[in-house]
Amino acid sequence: MSTPLLSDADIGRLKISFEFFPPKSPEMEGQLWETVADLGGWEPDFVSVTYGAGGSTREPTLVTVRRLIAETPLRTASHLTCVGSSKDDVRRVVEELQAVGVSRFVALRGDPPEGPGSVYRPHPQGYANGAELVKGLKSIGDFDISVSAYPEKHPESESVAADIEMLKRKADNGADRALSQFFFDNDQFERYMDAVRAAGITLPVLPGIMPIHNLTQLKRFAGRCGTSIPAFLDERFAGTEEDAERRFEVGADVAAEQIADLVRRGISDFHLYTMNRAPLTNAVLTRLGLARKG
């Protein structure tokens, strides 16, 4: 076994959380619950379940969250968006989730139903943005609330400064932490955090880590999210197009090295985008030196 990337002291401080998404088919449902059972052994700090644009996955999200709470010990957060919904619509969804035991939310404005890049139009009787949604949630109950953060600027934001001002509004309205969009340039993230702290924002910002399963597919997704792909990733994945095993190993190395570097820069909490697949996430955590707890 290779030498772990982190010391025992660093491992002792590390907290991880996972993101899942509701399944769209019976096959994907089976994969999700196998992944949940597998990754649950790491005893994450919490897990989150996504919620589609305009509430397009409301029912599958509710079913998934309900089962996570009922059948696992995992602290579970439901994503919640306000796009295309009135304040009354949001309250009804929140109360429905409360009824199955949800006390944690990831509060997001959400993408327009037409998808990223299309024009966002707030519902006339709804919340205009994520900051307003946080305030609305706090008026309903004393929830634990995570919000989004964008180290490379939200694609629709006019500037990084405007983005950071929005994060400050979310923090001022009661958010408990921010989960960042995935990124691959740690220097960029460190500069972003310097600007966040300079703006007086003390909110914890968890780096969002995306282990790479397929670089070509990731590039398409990253383009829609406004995430840059550094040249070193092309170099690292060169020659792996037809070698799935080698591609897996490189993907695990890249993500583990990114986390280890951020730990050296003082970060201890990380949010991993699992894509409902356990093997690559397992490999990343093993490389860091973590041991399963359950």
What integer is the mean pLDDT of 276-286? 98
Residue 95 lies in a domain: yes
pLDDT tens for 123-144 read 888 899 999 999 999 999 999 9
Q: Does residue 2 sit within a domain?
A: no
Has residue 3 been placed in a domain? no
Task: Note whether residue 196 is domain-resident.
Answer: yes
Summarize pLDDT for 155-190 with one digit per residue, the tens: 888 899 999 999 999 999 999 999 999 999 999 999
258: how many CB neighbours lie within 10 A of its CB?
21
Tally of structural domains, the chain: 1
**CA-closest candidate to residue 47, choices 26, 22, 27:** 22
Burial of 209 (C-beta count, 10 Å sphere; 0-12/13-18/19+)? buried
Look at residue 52 and tell me if it is in a domain: yes
d(CA 74, CA 84): 30
What confidence tens digit (pLDDT) does each residue in 47-98 have? 999 986 555 567 889 999 999 999 999 999 999 998 888 999 999 999 999 9
Question: Is residue 294 situated within a structural domain?
Answer: no
- How far is C-alpha 243 from the geometric centre of its chain's CA atoms? 28
- Catalytic residue numbers read 19
- Residue tagged 């990114």 (tokens): 258
Which domain does 19 fall in, by range? 8-288
Indicate whether 115 belongs to any domain. Answer: yes
The verdict on residue 268 lying in a domain is yes
pLDDT of 277 > 90? The answer is yes
CATH number for the domain including 121? 3.20.20.220
Check whether 267 has a pLDDT greater than 60.
yes
Residue 115: per-residue pLDDT: 58
